[in-house]
Amino acid sequence: MKRLFLSLMVMCVTLFAAQSVLAQDGYRIRPGDVLSVEVVQDATLNRDILVLPDGSINYPFVGTLRVRGLTVGQVQQQIAAGISSNFAVLPDVFVAVREVFVAPPPIEPLPGPTIDIFIQGEVNAPGLVEVSPGTTLVQALALHGGFTSFAATRRIQLRRTNPHTGHTTVVTLDYRVLERGGVVSHDPVLSEGDVILVPQRRLFE
């Protein structure tokens, strides 16, 4: 009887896993989703990645990928192809939608006006962040939860896209100046939709 129960439990878990995979295969990725990427051959490439408002992600050795409207299987193929030159054989890449972005319904008024910004890359808490108008880049970095050990803190980017023209401007910040007790020469005030990108350190950086 015990063996029968265990067999039924294994069957149920297997069926649930298969249904989850099928559901993810049919899901089309949207901005605000968080993707979990795993590379079997190199665990240092495993990470959670936020899909930016323009539908793109940034991944080591691949750069920017447009993933809006793609399935997880299509993203797996693109990442595997993009990093394949670093491996002797085509790497095994697994992508899953860790979090589906759902805009929370307004239940009660916020205590004050806020703007939405996005923080992604080598940070411990990537995602959408609400900040008060007038918040600067340095102040936002102090709120994000810290950097990972792979963060290139001397090349932090603030990316701002003009909603009317689609043109993106990039401002670079050397956060190491602050860590050494210095003062940055330019600390821009954030605007709605700004993206803060903390890239991965290069070799010997």
Over range 11-27, report the average pLDDT.
Answer: 48
pLDDT band at 13 (very low <50, low <70, confident <90, very high): very low
- The larger pLDDT score, comparing residue 202 to residue 46, is at 46
Over range 185-196, report the average pLDDT.
Answer: 90
For Cα atoms 42, 47, 53, give the angle at the middle one, nearest 5 degrees.
Answer: 140
Q: What is the pLDDT of residue 14?
A: 36
- The larger pLDDT score, comparing residue 7 to residue 99, is at 99
- The larger pLDDT score, comparing residue 33 to residue 11, is at 33
Domains and CATH numbers, the chain: 28-99 (3.30.1950.10), 115-198 (3.10.560.10)
> In one letter, which amino acid is 27?
Y
- The larger pLDDT score, comparing residue 119 to residue 144, is at 119
Q: Where are any strands of DSSP class E within the chain?
A: 34-39, 47-50, 56-59, 63-66, 93-99, 115-121, 127-131, 156-161, 168-173, 195-198
Q: What is the pLDDT of residue 195?
A: 94
Say if residue 103's pLDDT is above 50.
yes
Closest listed residue to residue 127, CA positions, set 34, 192, 29, 28: 34
Mean per-residue pLDDT of the chain: 81
Q: What is the pLDDT of residue 126?
A: 86
Question: How many other CB atoms are there within 10 angstroms of residue 127's CB atom?
Answer: 16
pLDDT band at 16 (very low <50, low <70, confident <90, very high): very low
Rounded to two decimals, the pTM is: 0.51
Over range 62-81, report the average pLDDT.
Answer: 92
